[in-house]
Amino acid sequence: MKNIMKAFLGVAVAAVMFTSCAKAPEVEINNAKAAVEAVKAIEAERYVPAEFSALQDSLNAALLEVENQNAKFALFRSYKKATATLANVMTMSETVKANTETRKEEVKAEAQQALAEVTTVVTEVKELLTKAPKGKEGKEALEAIQGDVVLVESFLAEVSTLINNGDYLTALDKVKAAGEKANGLKTELEAAIAKTKRR
């Protein structure tokens, strides 16, 4: 009878031990990975790189913790720390998503404003072209400037397309480059006109 009781007790203890073993938080892992992919899809990597990097690091830390727990003997595994970190990833991903959207709107507005300003400068350059000296030497220089104006206008057309397509960072970079070129042309023409007036 004692042997039967011991065997029964052994089976019961083993059953309790196996049923109480911690299991990896697979649902939480999948949800956290999906959340990170979702913010990656809205280009958080480009618009809020530091925040996205921190988010990715948190996910990696959680996954590493899960691996560490998986490597332990089943009875000694605990996924509490990993689960807490995964929950934090979910919270962080919402913040990163909101900040990405805000930053995108800011960059969009900045690109649109720069586009309007550079367009104005190009108009001014065209007006200055009509007033610029047109001697023998001046003719070649004016033709070169007109070619540059056409180039700047093509950049501005690209910027408009980029803004319409939602690539605001690239649009901002291009419009800044176009602005530098247009302002350089304006300065060059103003200097040439001023030189003529002094004669």
Question: What's the average model confidence in pLDDT over 53-58?
Answer: 98
Asked if residue 15 has pLDDT above 60, the reply is no
What pLDDT sits at residue 8? 52
Q: Of 32-46, 87-101, 124-138, 165-179, which gets the smallest average pLDDT?
A: 124-138
**Whole-number pLDDT of residue 196:** 77
Better pLDDT: 63 or 8: 63
- Please give the C-alpha separations between residue 70 and each of 23, 45, 75, 78, in angstroms, as whole numbers: 9, 30, 11, 9
How do residues 142-177 score in pLDDT, each as one tens digit?
889 999 999 999 999 999 999 999 999 999 999 999
Q: Which is more confidently placed, 181 or 137?
A: 181
CA triple 100-102-106, angle to 5 deg: 115
| Start-end of H helices in the chain | 2-19, 26-41, 44-47, 49-70, 80-131, 136-164, 168-198
**pLDDT attached to residue 37:** 98
Give residue 177's Cα distance to chain centre: 20
Render pLDDT for 70-121 as a digit per residue (tens, 0 to 9): 999 988 999 999 999 999 999 999 999 999 999 999 999 999 999 999 999 9
